[in-house]
Amino acid sequence: MRLALAALAALVLAAPAAACKQQGSQAYLETRLVCITCHTTLDESDSPFAVEMKQEIARQIKACRSNSQIIDSMVAQFGPAVLSTPQTHGFDLIAWVLPLGGILLGAAALAFGARRWQAVRATASDDSPQSPLEPEDERRVDEELQKFDA
Amino acid sequence: MRALRAVAVVSVLALLGLLVWDLAHQNGPGIAVKVDQGKIVPAPKLDLPLLTGAGRLTLASLRGKVVVVNFWQSSCYPCKLEARDVAAASRAWTAKRSDVVFLGVNAQDLKGPAHAYLKRYDVTYTNVRDALGSTWPKWGVTAVPETFFVDRRGRVVPPHITGQASRAQIDDGIRRALRS
């Protein structure tokens, strides 16, 4: 009898967990969503509206909704502005691509500049002949050197 | 090298253009300040989705009627305090005149609590939803509730009520808008 009661209790306690396999996480969602009145993530805000949003998230989690479902419902209400990071599709993709593009463009500009500078230096060294001395100057240099040798 | 220089110049010009555009599109203090000074000003554009049901509503579509524009949030305490008075005023005025309408602008609010608010305070007039509060700067709304009166020619006329509006203030505002 005791065993049957224990099994029944375990079944009753396990039922909500089993029903919510995809249940969202309050902590995760509070970092993914921003309070639209104060523009900080929910985990960093205690403004009245942030508190309301947290309560709404808690209510939806209790209703077995997943992270993505809850995020979608918030985006449906407030648009992408409610997300703490830009989306990875549509117009928001620019926010991800632009910095990467900038880095690549900068690297390409540096490489181009370096190659050009190297080419200019090589040309300059090829073009600079060993300036020949005038016979008179050469003679004077030889004389001076001979003085040192002596 | 010339190409690089051109890219740099174009980038700087684009950034400058962006800065100028941003400065040109700043809203300033909004119309509330002018209305508080007793001035009559054209109503800012208002084109928002309905809070309940599908579709949108523009303020321009209400031209020819006096419109009481009430900004509110479901979590705001003074909004709750005035809600029954505003709803009662709406019922009383619309029962006796067809050229007076009330328009609620629910801003920066969750849909669920906003719907519950309408039900709880028996708000039957049309409400639109401004999810991000984008209309606030142009109207000069700084905190809810705020109430404006738009005359039949689409102009905002004094008074502009900040905070909880009483029935007497609403009636006075409508009468002044009707005379305008």
Q: Which residues of B touch A116 (CB under 8 A)?
A: 1
Alpha helices in chain B (DSSP H): 2-24, 32-36, 77-96, 111-120, 136-139, 167-179
Same domain (yes/no): A80, A104: no
Cβ-Cβ contacts under 8 Å between A and B: the total is 28
Q: Lowest mean pLDDT: which of A118-127, B63-72, B155-164?
A: A118-127
Domains (range + CATH), chain B:
29-179 (3.40.30.10)
Where residue A25 sits, what CATH number does that domain have? Answer: 1.10.8.640
pTM of the model: 0.71
| Other beta carbons within 10 Å of B114 | 21
Same domain (yes/no): A94, A57: no
In a domain, A133, yes or no: no
Q: Is the pLDDT of residue B41 over 90?
A: yes
Same domain (yes/no): A58, A103: no
Q: Pick the last residue of a domain from A85, A102, A135.
A: A85
The answer to whether B38 and B158 have CB atoms below 8 angstroms apart is yes
What is the arithmetic mean of pLDDT over B18-38?
80
Q: Consecutive 10-residue runs of chain A (150 residues): their mean pLDDT?
A: 59 56 88 91 92 94 94 93 82 79 90 89 71 84 86
Give pLDDT, residue A48: 87
- How many domains does chain A fold into? 2
Give pLDDT, residue A17: 52
Q: Pick the last residue of a domain from A59, A85, A111.
A: A85
Same domain (yes/no): A93, A81: no
Q: Which residues of B touch A79 (CB under 8 A)?
A: 131-132
ipTM above 0.95, yes or no: no
Instruction: Tell me what the pLDDT averaged over chain B comes to.
Output: 92
* Residue of chain B whose Cα is closest to the Cα of A34: B132
In a domain, A112, yes or no: yes
Q: Is B110 on the interface with A (CB under 8 A)?
A: yes
In a domain, A74, yes or no: yes
Range of the domain at A94: 89-120
Same domain (yes/no): A53, A96: no
Which of B108, B110, B133 lies nearest to residue A56, judging by beta carbons? B110
Share of chain B above pLDDT 70, in %: 96
Give pLDDT, residue B69: 98
Same domain (yes/no): A93, A72: no
Same domain (yes/no): A72, A93: no
Q: Which residues of A touch B7 (CB under 8 A)?
A: 105
B167 closest CA partner among B73, B117, B92: B92
